[in-house]
Amino acid sequence: MLQRVNPGNKSLADYRSIVRRDLYDEICDLAGRLEGARVLHINATSFGGGVAEILYTLVPLMRDVGLQTDWAVMFGAEPFFNVTKSFHNALQGADYELSVEARAIYEEYNRQSAAALDEEWDIIFVHDPQPALMKHFSGGYSPETKWIWRCHIDTSTPNRQVLDYLEPYIKDYDAQVYTMQEYTPPDLELPNLVLIPPAIDPLSPKNMALPGDDARYIVNQFGVDTERPFIVQVSRFDPWKDPLGVIDVYRAVKEDVPEVQLVLIGSMAHDDPEGWDYWYKTVNYASGDQDIFLFSNLTNVGAIEVNAFQSLADVVIQKSIREGFGLVVTEALWKARPLVASRVGGIPMQVAKGGGILIDTIPEAAAACAKLLQDKDFAFEMGRRGKEHVRNHYLTPRLLRDDLLLFAKLLGV
């Protein structure tokens, strides 16, 4: 049996005052057509990273509207996660030589996970490359089941060796879901492509409204001076999120705004063995600067703490080199914080006119941060515009609606 995750309970009614009425009514209509449908989500980890965060809201909401929905984590161990982290990087363009040994490890864990499917489902929703071969290895599993593969990363410039290996397995799914057209691999014909951007939960501990005094108390507990401005980036510690580049930006900003501080917060996930190596590389690059703070979920910085840091940040930066959708950007925009972010992945589609500053270089990022720190009215207006854009496009009820539309199409209801 695959490891089941208990995501708790949520009620769609709690979101009624936050989202548009027509969206709420559409969800209710779709849910009535799909009532009783059996849906299983499968991914590689129940903590750390955006996919797990999405599922902790999406799964209980699907249950609340009448679908029999579960979430399972596939089998995995260090050798498997070493391989799949390499796959993840390769699909975003990193150099990688796919070996016979790596293929064998990857296939064996997918085979074991597929063999552990012990119930019948109407929909099996597979997330990202780690479990992508499960459909192939499911063998004689119910032919009535519809399989969906969801790619959460940017595969527009992939390592062709890894992509060519995965291509026949991906094409075999009944639907392939990407965030946007630009994420799909070039020259890859996907027969059942569906475009669905992800979303954030506005009522989760990380995104709910947090009183200012409480936020200041939390941030002060970690040694950050809330009487001085600070810049924050929340991301995994890996080269694609470029924490070293963020430190370079901070050092340039400090020449114009000497009192500025920098906070880097990363979530360490068990399926990311590279994370600790890059954590130590970032610590060394900070060179003992007392105004640079590095935190993670393993240093007691959880959802509420991230909320506090994002809610109080004078500037939120996201200097990614490669990016999936960039849910941390969505979170910052929802908290009405001024944003400076790289022009990569799904970030530009989140930044409506006036809702953030897109940059390509370290000097551009430093100039943007300095302007926002020095012009409070400009920063406030930017935060307001960003929040309303997220309200209209990137909250979980919209994602729920899009998934239900896909289920209804696949099941013919």
> What does the pLDDT look like over 352-367, one tens digit per residue?
778 999 999 999 999 9
> What is the model's pLDDT at position 273?
66
Stretch 77-100: mean pLDDT, rounded? 93
Least confident of 8-12, 42-46, 320-324, 365-369: 320-324
Please write down the HEC assignment for all residues of the chain: CCEECCCCCCCHHHHCCCCCHHHHHHHHHHHHHHCCCEEEEEECCCCCCHHHHHHHHHHHHHHHCCCEEEEEECCCCHHHHHHHHHHHHHHCCCCCCCCHHHHHHHHHHHHHHHHCCCCCCCEEEEECCCCCCHHHHCCCCCCCCEEEEEECCCCCCCCHHHHHHHHHHHHCCCEEEECCHHHCCCCCCCCCEEECCCCECCCCCCCCCCCHHHHHHHHHHCCCCCCCCEEEEECCCCHHHCHHHHHHHHHHHHHHCCCCEEEEEECCCCCCCHHHHHHHHHHHHHCCCCCEEEEEHHHCCCHHHHHHHHHHCCEEEECCCCCCCCHHHHHHHHCCCCEEEECCCCHHHHCCCCCCEEECCHHHHHHHHHHHHHCHHHHHHHHHHHHHHHHHHCEHHHHHHHHHHHHHHHHCC
Fold of 212-393: Rossmann fold (3.40.50)
What residues does each domain of the chain span? 3-199+395-411, 212-393
How is residue 139 written in tokens?
Answer: 């063998």
Per-residue pLDDT reduced to its tens digit, 246-269: 999 999 999 999 999 999 998 776
- Tens of pLDDT, residue by residue over 171-197, are 999 999 999 998 899 888 898 999 999
- How far is residue 244's CA from residue 285's CA, in Å, rounded to a whole number? 7
The band of 270, judged by pLDDT with boundaries at 50, 70 and 90, is low
Number of C-beta neighbours around residue 402 at 10 A: 18
CATH of the domain spanning 3-199+395-411:
3.40.50.2000
What is d(CA 45, CA 288) in angstroms, rounded to the nearest whole number?
Answer: 33
The tens digit of pLDDT for each residue in 136-145 reads: 999 867 889 9
Q: Which residue has the tokens 């290895």?
A: 137
Whether the per-residue pLDDT at 272 is higher than 70: the answer is no
The mean pLDDT of 306-324, rounded to a whole number, is: 94
- 32 is written with which tokens? 């009535």
Cα 156 to Cα 76, 92, 163, 383, distances in angstroms: 27, 7, 11, 30
- Beta partners for 233? 264
Residue 131 pLDDT greater than 80, yes or no:
yes
Contact 267, 297 (CB under 8 A): yes
Global pTM? 0.86
Q: Quick one: average pLDDT of 112-134?
A: 95
User: How, if at all, do strands 68-73 and 123-127 pair?
Assistant: unpaired
The per-residue pLDDT for range 274-288, each reduced to its tens digit, is: 777 888 899 999 998
Tell which residue, 246, 228, 229, has the closest CA to residue 237.
246
* Max Cα–Cα distance, the chain, nearest Å: 65
Length of the chain: 413
Mean pLDDT of the chain, nearest integer: 93
Question: Partners of 194 in the beta sheet?
Answer: 177
Q: Whole-angstrom Cα distance, residue 94 to residue 64? A: 41
